[in-house]
Amino acid sequence: MATVAAVIASTHHPFYYRASTATGEDRPPFADEWAAKIEAFRETLTTSRPDVLVMVGSDHFHQLWLDNMPQFLIGKAPFYDANFYNEEREFGLPRMFVHGREDLSAYLLREGMDAGFDLAFSNELRIDHSITCPLITLRPQADLPIVPIYTNIFAPPLPRPKRFVELGKTIRRLVEAWPSDDRVAIIGTGHLSLELGGPRQFGPHGPDPRFDRKAVEWIASGDIESAVAEVSLESLWLPGNATHGFMDFMLMMGVAGENASANHVDSLDLFHTMEAYFTWYPKEAS
């Protein structure tokens, strides 16, 4: 059976690439501290020696459109081109190209459906910064094959938070049962409090630092019970109008497991939205 080498959850601040590669006068004052945290975070994946990355993200209205909107989608393709014109334009993100693992994609689709999730799939998927940002931070050489999993956190009606947790738990169980000798890292990114296109956007901090502190504590301690009790589709508008992305963190908490304490926890209070980084090493992984 496959080994879950690491479970990793983080935010996907799209300004990291530009900030960290800037030099001289263009380099922002927080860039060095940010890069140091990212380098430590990157090491948590490197040290786990993965063969393949399952990567959970959310298409930001790039390829997926309201005329055909999947709630949960798994990419099944031999390759994935990455990053879109408007991400190059706004964030200076580079074009990328990664390999897929169609055998793992097919397995997750089949077993995921049999487990009760009517998963959509794509045989030609261009991936966006929700997946390329963690590639840039965690595996910039982009040498490992991936299985991309997209979740709908933007286009109502959305699945409820509990459904994200259940999918996360299912992904974990399925990867552990995958008949393979591979080491699989399961990586997902989501949002903390965040406002996009609203009055609280682009402030000196995320729109709701109190929510962020609570959220970081829930994630770090695997406190799924508290998160599910306190968070709802209705309540997630309050910390910022893009905070439904927190449900991807809840999905990753499902992957990590109930009451699983993260082995690596770090955060950075930045303009616009807080950055946070979490890594769990399942006991069986070493």
Contact residues: another protein, CB under 8 A: 60-62, 65-68, 84-86, 89-90, 154-157, 195-203, 237-238, 241-242, 271
User: Least distance from C-beta 155 to another protein, angstroms?
Assistant: 7
Number of H helices, E strands in the chain: 9, 10
Instruction: Indicate the residue among 58 and 170 with the shorter CB distance to another protein.
Output: 58
As measured in angstroms, the least distance from the Cβ of 272 to another protein is 8
Considering beta carbons, is residue 75 or 254 the nearer one to another protein? 75
Question: Is the CB of 39 or the CB of 90 nearer to another protein?
Answer: 90
User: Token pair of 135, please?
Assistant: 């590639």
User: Residue 198 in contact with residue 267, Cβ under 8 Å?
Assistant: no
Cβ pair 187, 251 in contact under 8 A: no
User: Least CB distance from residue 17 to another protein, whole Å?
Assistant: 15
Closer Cβ to another protein, 44 or 243, answer by number: 243
Closest to another protein by CB, 221 vs 241, is 241
| Integer Cα distance of 200 and 209 in angstroms | 12
Instruction: State the DSSP H helix or E strand holding residue 75, giving kind and residue range, or none if neither.
Output: strand 72-75
Closest CB 92 distance from another protein, rounded Å: 12
Tell me the closest approach of the beta carbon of residue 15 to another protein, in angstroms. Answer: 10
Three-state secondary-structure class, residue 222: coil
Do 97 and 79 touch, CB atoms closer than 8 A? yes
